[in-house]
Structure 1
């Protein structure tokens, strides 16, 4: 097992990354990866994408866009291991080994499965499992394999994923009990300071609400989206509450503490919503213009992106292949002679 701390982050590939993804996950992960005090693993969770998305072209396009986004924003594939989940066949094989020691009762308690069942019950469906695939039901085991194949010590997640990390620990403990100490028990990392941005309508920015601001839309489209952000009817000159303002919340995520403090003063002085929207547009466009150009260059060179991802897969498999060989031997899948 590695003596250096390993930190692993999965990136779903079912849509186009937006400002909320950047502020809440991408930026802090990339900044942490530059510290040099740990081994970092970043992967495109394209097997996970198949649980909810059966649109091949959408999955393909999202993999391209997500990979380009992380690289355009500064992820250095030389410093980290950056790979596609589907390029590491040891992950699905480990998923099966782990499935064989995972209690069905544990999976029954998974939030996503329980929510699907409850939705059917609420609809009066005679079959509580209608529409539930084995992919959805076994999702936590695949997530456990993602983490355990590299014996990751820490996994940064949102609060909605804490249960899956607890399940990973349970599964790892069961495997260790049966076959010897092979897995470290990963630690969940929840950054309470991580920004959660509101979207165009004031609710949490989310693809499911259709209220997102995509990271790399053209400049004119970015301005149009910002102008659509919902505000109240307070006129210019009337003092406003920055803490209840979506505009301020997004601005603060892209400003220094000093700039945010200065903006609070302007709110107290009654800055108009139109002026604030223009200020926000200029700030975001200034931050994103360079990465946007890099992103477009990466999209125009899919062969280059493919090389980067395959090189990352080679780095990942250099760890995963010998480790899985030991796990196969541990469970009795050894050569006969």
Structure 2
């Protein structure tokens, strides 16, 4: 049976938080153990440069993200886990694809249109002010990430569907000109995926500065959970769990039986201080073993690097010969003697 190739990239601009874990990391780790899937997971460090011009942050984020995935049990014997910048064929493919991509297609990219709209609303004379070519054309780099490894499926949020559609358009255009070389990828959207709320009740996101880092030390974890916004209902008053940030986080980790028990305690009027203590103890117990492994990995950068280099070796065993074929297809080859 042919394995389906599934590919996921993680941009190296921040520290993994609880929302990343339940929404993306946990299901991806599980998929890495599926013998019927060929998973590719990569640190998208070139993508990070689009919005982040802080070298130390990109380096530290790469280290933290790699350590997080390894600490949580990523099966690197099955999954190909690599750093984007360690596979130079991806950037060469990006240029090849750029040469068959219509500018009009890039004009329709959501991120670019949003930047232009913001400038126009701010009465800027130049609608492209602050727009780099990285921001404008990064859907092509994303297409190269996907097409290089002939990904069949790409798990994404709804806001990323357009990029998969663009990758399909670019691949189809190349195939039309140079022959069938690329697989047309499909976006996989998890309709019922967990979305955690942050400290302020909005979606947990580094953009809102409301996250709870996944492997925060115990004391800091407790302080952050104690900061979670709640309403003014007193202990003893019934509370609605479905509108509560504390409950939404607890539910993402707990079993159905445990969730039912806590739901009853809300009906009985559990106090906010008590619920925060319950949540802290539960989350802390859940992540403690992986946190210990994470802290050990952060002190062993050579081991992390070894894992990434091994992943790059496996990735390049695919990318090098494939790019050779693509070069031949577009007419870039040695002159025969």
Q: TM-score range by the shorter chain?
A: over 0.9
Q: Distance in 1 between matches of 2:160 and 2:210?
A: 22
Which residue of structure 2 lines up, in the alignment, with residue 100 of structure 1? 99
Deviations 1:43-67 (A, max 9, x none): 0000000000011111100000010
Structure 2 counterpart SS, 1:205 = coil
Q: Distance in 2 between matches of 1:128 and 1:66?
A: 35
> Is the counterpart of residue 189 in structure 1 residue 188 in structure 2?
yes
Deviations 1:247-286 (A, max 9, x none): 0000000001111111111111111111100000001000
Structure 2 counterpart SS, 1:193 = coil
CA positional deviation for 1:226? 0.2
Which residue of structure 2 lines up, in the alignment, with residue 171 of structure 1? 170
Q: CA RMSD in A?
A: 0.9
The answer to whether the 8 Å contact 2:23/2:195 transfers is yes
Please list, as runs of the form range in 1=range in 2, the aligned pairs for 1:83-232 lying within 5 A after superposition.
83-232=82-231
Structure 1 counterpart SS, 2:236 = coil
CA positional deviation for 1:3? 3.8
Q: Distance in 2 between matches of 1:55 and 1:260?
A: 41
Which residue of structure 2 lines up, in the alignment, with residue 245 of structure 1? 244
Q: Give the aligned length.
A: 336
> Is the counterpart of residue 261 in structure 1 residue 260 in structure 2?
yes
Which residue of structure 1 lines up, in the alignment, with residue 76 of structure 2? 77
Deviations 1:187-217 (A, max 9, x none): 1001112100000000000001100000111
Which residue of structure 1 lines up, in the alignment, with residue 269 of structure 2? 270
Q: Distance in 2 between matches of 1:265 and 1:335?
A: 73
> Is the counterpart of residue 332 in structure 1 residue 331 in structure 2?
yes
Q: Distance in 1 between matches of 2:224 and 2:152?
A: 40
Which residue of structure 2 lines up, in the alignment, with residue 43 of structure 1? 42
Which residue of structure 2 lines up, in the alignment, with residue 26 of structure 1? 25
Q: Distance in 2 between matches of 1:287 and 1:165?
A: 34
The answer to whether the 8 Å contact 2:31/2:37 transfers is no
Q: Which moved more, 1:32-41 or 1:109-118?
A: 32-41
TM-score, normalised with respect to structure 1? 0.99
Q: Distance in 2 between matches of 1:104 and 1:261?
A: 53
Q: Distance in 2 between matches of 1:238 and 1:317?
A: 60
Structure 2 counterpart SS, 1:51 = coil
CA positional deviation for 1:83? 0.1
The answer to whether the 8 Å contact 2:154/2:187 transfers is yes
Which residue of structure 1 lines up, in the alignment, with residue 51 of structure 2? 52
> Is the counterpart of residue 236 in structure 1 residue 235 in structure 2?
yes
Structure 1 counterpart SS, 2:7 = strand
Structure 2 counterpart SS, 1:124 = coil
CA positional deviation for 1:78? 1.6
Which residue of structure 2 lines up, in the alignment, with residue 290 of structure 1? 289
Q: Distance in 1 between matches of 2:74 and 2:120?
A: 44
CA positional deviation for 1:159? 0.8
Q: Distance in 2 between matches of 1:260 and 1:183?
A: 45
Q: Structure 2: 5+ residue runs without aligned partners?
A: none
CA positional deviation for 1:4? 2.2
CA positional deviation for 1:33? 1.7
Structure 1 counterpart SS, 2:10 = strand
Q: Distance in 1 between matches of 2:323 and 2:5?
A: 18
